[in-house]
Amino acid sequence: MGWTLRRTGSRRDVRSSIDSGQFRSRRARGVKSANGPLLADQDLRNIIQQNRRSCCPQVFHGGFTVPDSRSTVAILGASDDRSKYGNKAVRAYRDQGWEVFPIHPTLTEVEGMPAFPDLDAVPVDRLDRVSFYVPPRIGLKLIDAVARKPVGEVWLNPGSESPELAARAEALGLNVIQACSILDIGQQPGRY
């Protein structure tokens, strides 16, 4: 095997390398692996796509996640302040075709969508993704509620992650990813 893919906290690391042509340019310069020939770009894409499909109902396509027929996401820490990432995430996911459930204890609406006071109030049985935009100390109070609802992935965005929160989520059996979920769906937070 020519490349060893390692998880560094974000699947975007491998995807970005493939899409930027990093693998292609190294092969073009004649770099060879001691363990055999390098994998072709399409082979790497196929491996990532198979792994992605096995862990959640999303499809890997061209470097970012696109929703299968109306994938669901809950945004913990959704905000009505358009400058905050909790609001940017709501708009980014909506623009990408996701069914978005903003979660905020006091708001009733975010970006024209009904907001829910907690995950128990969300009217679906299963969520494909829960994305955290709250401080870690608040996240620690919410993580048990996340574990009560079937969830495909839990995203701890920059500023919401902490070793304690990640450890607690993993202890509850949740699939935890510490990275920017807006980038994962192919959007740039600065666009919003």
Question: Residue 6: inside a domain, yes or no?
Answer: no
Question: Residue 30: inside a domain, yes or no?
Answer: yes
Q: Which domain holds residue 97?
A: 66-191
- 1-19 tens-digit pLDDT: 344 444 444 444 444 444 4
Task: Based on the fold, state whether residues 80 and 157 are members of the same structural domain.
Answer: yes
| H helical segments located in 9-84 | 12-20, 22-28, 41-55
Measured at the CA of 129, the angle between CA 124 and CA 132, to 5 degrees, comes to 110
Question: Residue 121: inside a domain, yes or no?
Answer: yes
At residue 50, the pLDDT reads 55
Task: Based on the fold, state whether residues 41 and 71 are members of the same structural domain.
Answer: no
Question: Residue 165: inside a domain, yes or no?
Answer: yes
Q: Is 100 helix (H, G, I), strand (E, B) or coil?
A: strand
The rounded distance, in Å, linking the Cα atoms of 45 and 60 is 9
- 46-85 tens-digit pLDDT: 655 555 443 444 433 344 455 555 799 999 999 999 999 9
Task: Based on the fold, state whether residues 46 and 115 are members of the same structural domain.
Answer: no
Of the chain, the percentage scoring pLDDT greater than 90 comes to 64
Q: What's 101's domain CATH number?
A: 3.40.50.720
Task: Based on the fold, state whether residues 78 and 43 are members of the same structural domain.
Answer: no
Nearest to 119 by CA among 145, 140, 138: 145
Nearest to 191 by CA among 43, 56, 87: 87
